Amino acid sequence: MTTSETQATDQAGYERGVGAGAGSARLAEPCRSLVPVILAGGSGTRLWPMSREQFPKQLIGVVGPDSLLQATVSRMKGFPGDWKVAAEPIIVCGEEHRFTTEEQVRASGVAARIVVEPARRDTAPALTLAAALAFANGEDAIIVAMPADHSIADIPALHAAIAIAAKHAEAGAIATLGIPPTRPDTGFGYIRLGGALDDGAHQIDRFVEKPVAELAAQYVAAGTYWWNSGIFVVRASVWLAALERLQPEMHSACVAAVKGGRTDGAYLRPDAAAFGRAPSDSIDYAVMEHVGTPSAPCAGVVVPLVAGWSDLGSWDAVWDAMEKDESGNVASGRVVFEGATSSYARSEGGRLVACVGTTNIIVVETDDAVLVADRSRVQDIKGLVARIREQHAPEADTHRKVRRPWGFYDSIDHGERFQVKRIVVTPGARLSLQMHHHRAEHWTVVCGTALVTRGEEQFLLSENESTYIPLGVKHRLENPGKVPLEIIEVQSGSYLGEDDIVRFDDTYGRCN
């Protein structure tokens, strides 16, 4: 008999825990509004070499052509019943990923409010920024907070679980989706179930940290523990009140950051000084581990989610989440299996990847790095990345293809005194007005139209035309057209580092 089984199971009971939070007065009012909040601040390397510090997992199409972020922003589409899902989800992301985040969301045809975290502070402050923003709207909506880097196969099942969770949230609980475990995984936190509710949900007895293997096996055998999915459904006011009680410093820092925030183009920028005062902590530690204890700020409910959920937390998990051929293999891109079994191979850089007689092997090929790992040892990738980072190998953190606010460039070849890049400029975008001390540049347009500034001149270049930018001459590249501009740039000079650049003017504020 768990401690929480003695708690009342009626929903009215939730309210007593809410306390004196900002929005507690409104709990009696019904609420049918759901605001998706997407936590897109991750920067892990467990899916290296695809995910890197500068291009993390949520921005990658891990299980399909869409990135995980794109799949996540579209996940609430077609939500059933009489719930009203906000047209604009709130996305919280890091400064260094804001351009790609915005670009991907736009490509998905979704309008979103993108909150750029001034600093990394883990998930609790991120969710609090979103809650304060949602609440600032004047409406005490129900937040549906989802990590941007998970995959869920069965969307109707997800919607059904969220609808149940939202009912509990409407009544004042913090609801979370729990995954009934299929194996004693040590990579997840677990939720110990309290009393059963009549809709399949349970009260939360308590949150448990990632267990050791033996404990994980006991949890799974007991049948009274579910995995913590990281998906939370809670009224903005309830979250804010809970945080105010449990983490007053974080609460005031985040609320002040939103109050002092500003709009910057497509982005919402909370006040950096205020946000900087927020301690770094996860939703689980900051709030959820108090649920079910005497200090609980409100009731906690866990709703089961059986919907092909995966946190894609390792290449092994990716293999597990994908459809396999009759030998248990998963191929992505130009891959050939010859007598391979239970292997995952991915060709991302376009090379032909051939696996001969491999068993339980992960192969991930990218432009500049190839990973070959035993499926049982994928947790060591983290250590590997740390090691190559120590050796200052750029492959640890950056891709060969480098995203910029105006598009991207790819370093396709280099020698001692030259470097060749393919540069792709988004329609309407332009690079900074710049100059190099040590290199000249030859540009050949291979697709689209370029507007070139060279010294005092300005001229158009179209496909199959080229120009030359001598060393020391101010220049700018711009795409005035409606299709992407692609140029091949041959740099020639004695020093070819990215830091040989003097910026005179920049649309994206990169002059200082």
List of residues contacting a second copy (CB under 8 A): 49, 336, 338-339, 345, 347, 349, 351-359, 361, 363, 365-374, 376-378, 380-381, 383-384, 387-388, 393, 395, 410, 412-413, 415-418, 420, 422, 440, 442, 444, 446-447, 463-464, 466, 468, 486, 488, 490, 492-493
Distance CA 320, CA 332 (A): 14
Strands across the sheet containing 449-454: 457-462, 449-454, 475-478, 433-435, 502-505
- Least separation, in Å, of the C-beta of 488 and a second copy? 5
* 109 Cβ contact list (under 8 Å, min separation 6): none
Residue closer to a second copy, measured from CB, 311 or 348: 348
Q: What is the dihedral of CA 199, 204, 209, 210, to 10 degrees?
A: -20
Integer angstrom CA distances of residue 510 from 431, 503, 505, 506: 10, 8, 8, 6
- Least separation, in Å, of the C-beta of 57 and a second copy? 17
- Least separation, in Å, of the C-beta of 385 and a second copy? 9
- Least separation, in Å, of the C-beta of 330 and a second copy? 14
The answer to whether 60 and 48 have CB atoms below 8 angstroms apart is: no
- Least separation, in Å, of the C-beta of 482 and a second copy? 17
The answer to whether 345 and 366 have CB atoms below 8 angstroms apart is: no
Residue closer to a second copy, measured from CB, 271 or 368: 368
Distance CA 383, CA 280 (A): 23
DSSP assigned state of 247: -
Residue closer to a second copy, measured from CB, 138 or 415: 415
- Least separation, in Å, of the C-beta of 401 and a second copy? 12
Show the tokens assigned to 139: 């409406």
Task: Please tell me the number of Cα atoms within 13 Å of 100 on its side-chain side.
Answer: 22
Alpha helices in 223-271 (DSSP H): 236-246, 248-259
Integer angstrom CA distances of residue 255 from 21, 59, 181, 234, 481: 13, 28, 36, 17, 42
- Least separation, in Å, of the C-beta of 342 and a second copy? 12
The answer to whether 132 and 141 have CB atoms below 8 angstroms apart is: no
Three-state secondary-structure class, residue 2: coil
CB neighbour burial string for 51-85, b if at least 16 within 10 angstroms, e if fewer = bbbbbbbbbbbbbeebbbbbbbbbbbeebeeebeb
Residue closer to a second copy, measured from CB, 108 or 444: 444
The answer to whether 98 and 74 have CB atoms below 8 angstroms apart is: no
Residue closer to a second copy, measured from CB, 215 or 412: 412
Distance CA 322, CA 102 (A): 27
DSSP assigned state of 153: S
Residue closer to a second copy, measured from CB, 272 or 440: 440
Q: How remote is the C-alpha of 224 from its chain's centroid? A: 30
Residue closer to a second copy, measured from CB, 85 or 371: 371
Residue closer to a second copy, measured from CB, 117 or 348: 348
Residue closer to a second copy, measured from CB, 11 or 492: 492
- Least separation, in Å, of the C-beta of 491 and a second copy? 9
Residue closer to a second copy, measured from CB, 221 or 352: 352
- Least separation, in Å, of the C-beta of 183 and a second copy? 20
Three-state secondary-structure class, residue 282: coil
- Least separation, in Å, of the C-beta of 422 and a second copy? 6
Residue closer to a second copy, measured from CB, 266 or 393: 393
* 383 Cβ contact list (under 8 Å, min separation 6): none
- Least separation, in Å, of the C-beta of 261 and a second copy? 40
